[in-house]
Structure 1
């Protein structure tokens, strides 16, 4: 009985060692395949905070408009507007002019669509619009001029401003170039489709 059990044990050990050897050969191949062919996502999503951080770098901002209105903008707050596929930026404004008895505080709200700029590999703010200007009571008589100045400043300050820049390696794989496609504003971030060039 002992003699017949020994060959059975030997066969079991040999088959076990064969399986282990086979596993050790295929495991590096699998690891190699994973590193050689990484998963290429069909989209990339960046957060509202990333947009907020990018826009924050432009502020505080001061400018004299038409030599009669000094405008200081600060404290930008970025919002996401999925219903209109736009982003909003609300900023505090301080206005001073010889026509005003004292400086006036207010709030400007503007919104912008997003587009991909291939030269800079960036998602940029495009065609910003001033949606709302709210100022203290003293400046209501000059609301039309303030709106015009706000629209001019918004265009100069934020038009074509990059809110996210792709690294070259994010848009290239195995000699194939990719580029952002459709940009969709969500409630919790901005989704950018990645497509082959």
Structure 2
């Protein structure tokens, strides 16, 4: 039996199961993945992403043996127009090369990707979008941005913001996996497709 024939027979089985169960749900809804046991997508909220990212902070690290970087207070924002997730962070940088510590705020953004081994949606290749230094620290904006970008990239690259439970990707002996990942205004939608 071919792969497409297997899909057709599974869909026919599911349609028959819907009809036999006497559900009020229309067959069209059942066939499109709205059937409650086989969703065609999962959506997790901005608050869930915020909680996942929050677990990594506060973060302190020595970078290139010259800078002591402290990152705190992450705030997650969804950027649907760019299909990215942004994280705004407070940064404090100390170095023997500077007379006093400097502080500021920077924002990085990241695309999202699927990590099959961990069954997780992860941040991928975060990059610094903006650096805002105040007062005398403004002269160090470029340096803080570069050092913070390095620290943040090491910290958040491939960091899981949502991990699927095994049962969310299995039904009736059939394995499913995420397809397209879309950033929405109120959450992140992950399409579910048959493996």
Q: Deviations over 1:111-143 (max 9, x none)?
A: 000011111000000010001111123233333
Measured in 2, the distance between the counterparts of 1:129 and 1:101 equals: 28
Measured in 1, the distance between the counterparts of 2:142 and 2:130 equals: 12
> How many residue pairs end up in the alignment?
166
Aligned match of 1:52: 50
Q: Deviations over 1:49-82 (max 9, x none)?
A: 0000000000000012222221111110000000
Please identify the structure whose Cα radius of gyration is greater: 1
Aligned match of 2:167: 169
User: What SS does the aligned partner of 1:153 have?
Assistant: helix
Aligned match of 2:126: 128
Pick aligned residue for 1:140 from 138, 141, 144: 138
Normalization by structure 1: what TM-score?
Answer: 0.79
Measured in 2, the distance between the counterparts of 1:153 and 1:48 equals: 23
Q: Report if aligned partners of 1:109, 1:133 keep a CA contact under 8 Å in 2.
A: yes
Aligned match of 1:189: 187
Q: Deviations over 1:61-113 (max 9, x none)?
A: 00122222211111100000000000000011111122333222200100000
C-alpha displacement at 1:38, in angstroms? 5.1
Measured in 1, the distance between the counterparts of 2:47 and 2:183 equals: 13
Q: Report if aligned partners of 1:100, 1:138 keep a CA contact under 8 Å in 2.
A: no
Structure 2: tracts of 5 or more residues without a match: 1-19, 23-34
Measured in 1, the distance between the counterparts of 2:84 and 2:42 equals: 17
C-alpha displacement at 1:177, in angstroms? 0.4
Aligned match of 1:86: 84
Normalization by structure 2: what TM-score?
Answer: 0.80
Note the aligned Cα RMSD (angstroms): 1.9
Aligned match of 1:11: none
Structure 1: tracts of 5 or more residues without a match: 1-28, 32-36
Q: Which region of structure 1 is more displaced relative to structure 2, 81-90 or 140-149? A: 140-149
C-alpha displacement at 1:155, in angstroms? 1.1
Pick aligned residue for 1:73 from 59, 71, 74: 71
Q: Report if aligned partners of 1:100, 1:139 keep a CA contact under 8 Å in 2.
A: no
